[in-house]
A = this chain, B = another copy of it.
């Protein structure tokens, strides 16, 4: 059997057309997902391998994407370190007792991955068995800075001032926490590959909170270490650090990633130009809000995006997660526009 398009693109091997998937492709915009969420809350779906598998498969069946991504949440890692996690409708995930003092950080446990996160690996194994062999399964994790800042803030933030205050006032504590997270996240991704994930993506979603100097100090080194550990498992590693466009070249070099995800704020030609010397494939970056357009217009913009990135060493995706009120047939129009190029 030929290797799936997605994996070939990750490895920068020639593909007749780019593969396509969407960040947050299993989620609220799908009626099938909402039906499950009516009988199970978010964390139940995450921790129940059968439900997580069902949700992971939905966009493969109903949207026709070229890759599945495990339904999970980046905060399962701090949760496994002992931080009580809650998920409030309309607010999103939140930690009941955010890290506030040195003692809180010291009290974090070193999780036993195989035990504490068994539900993740079970879901990967179950999904891999249920999924069409031609469709690769992507695992993922949050990058150390993103997890650390979430652990300090406790929930979404506009200015990240609690987390940034820690960096400024107690850089020693911050580095200690980031250090633990880098190894843990790296090992978590290796274990996901061992369970059957055929690629992994590192999300540094809150890279956007840090300026260039702070990102070079507190963000990139730990993301890079996690990515390099993950890479030892042999599966392609995708790195997505929205807001760290200032560090794009360093991101590619320091992480040794196979694929760099591009945020919608960066023009495709500029991304290609800046990464022309890096041996990386690119992934992205349609503005998620453009999926509000009529299907014909979505197709036009999608083709224009693919032309701008070029068809090789490229994975079509959005430049961020699908918005929850996106019409399903618009998501399908996006996927079909890419597939029609083949």
- Chain A residues with CB under 8 Å of chain B are 156, 158-161, 164-165, 167-169, 208, 211-214, 243, 246, 264-267, 270, 287-290, 292-293, 319, 323-325
The 7 closest A-B pairs by CB, nearest first: A164-B289, A168-B292, A211-B264, A165-B292, A161-B323, A212-B267, A211-B287
The complex is assembled from copies of this chain, and their number is 2
- Contact among B158, B164, B270 with A156 in the assembled complex (CB-CB below 8 Å): B158
B289 and A168 contacting across the interface, CB-CB below 8 Å: yes
Q: Chain B nearest CB: distance from A271 CB in Å?
A: 11
Tell me the smallest distance from the CB of A208 to a CB of chain B, in Å: 8
A73 to B208 alpha-carbon distance, docked (Å): 26
In the complex the two chains form, is A159's CB within 8 Å of B323's CB?
A: yes
Contacts of A264 in B (CB 8 A): 211
* CB closest chain-B residue, reference A320: B159
Contact of A265 among B158, B159, B160, B212 (CB under 8 A): B212
Out of B159, B287, B324, B325, name the residue touching A214 (CB < 8 Å): B287
Q: How far is the CA of A292 from the CA of B156 in the complex (A)?
A: 21
Q: Which residues of B contact A323 (CB under 8 A)?
A: 159, 161
Q: Is the CB of B161 within 8 A of A289?
A: yes
Complex formed: what's the CA distance from A246 to B167 in Å?
Answer: 27
Which one of B169, B213, B324 lies within 8 Å of A292 (CB-CB)? B169
| Residues on B with beta carbons closer than 8 Å to the beta carbon of A164 | 287, 289, 292
B165, B169, B290: the one contacting A168 at CB < 8 Å is B290
B246 close to A265 (CB less than 8 A): yes
15 new A-B contacts at CB < 8 Å, known A161-B324, A165-B289, A246-B270: A160-B289, A161-B323, A164-B287, A164-B289, A167-B289, A168-B289, A168-B290, A168-B292, A168-B293, A169-B293, A211-B265, A211-B287, A212-B265, A212-B266, A246-B267
CB distance from A308 to the nearest CB of B (A): 11
- Give the CA-CA distance A168 to B168 in the complex, in Å: 41
Chain B residues whose CB sits within 8 angstroms of the CB of A324 once the complex forms: 161
Whether the pair A243, B214 counts as a contact (CB closer than 8 A) is no
Q: CB < 8 Å: which of B168, B246, B319 contacts A211?
A: B319
Q: When chains A and B are docked, how far (Å) is the Cα of A158 from the Cα of B164?
A: 19
A196 CB to closest chain B CB (Å) equals 32
A–B Cβ pairs within 8 angstroms, 27 of them: A156-B158, A159-B288, A160-B289, A161-B289, A161-B325, A164-B287, A164-B289, A164-B292, A165-B289, A165-B325, A167-B289, A168-B290, A168-B292, A168-B293, A169-B292, A169-B293, A208-B265, A211-B264, A211-B265, A211-B287, A212-B267, A213-B267, A213-B287, A214-B287, A243-B265, A246-B266, A246-B270
How many whole Å from A6's CB to the nearest CB in chain B?
Answer: 25
* Minimum distance in angstroms from A236 CB to a CB of chain B: 26
Residues of B within 8 A of A213 (CB): 267, 287
CA distance A63 to B87 in the complex (A): 42
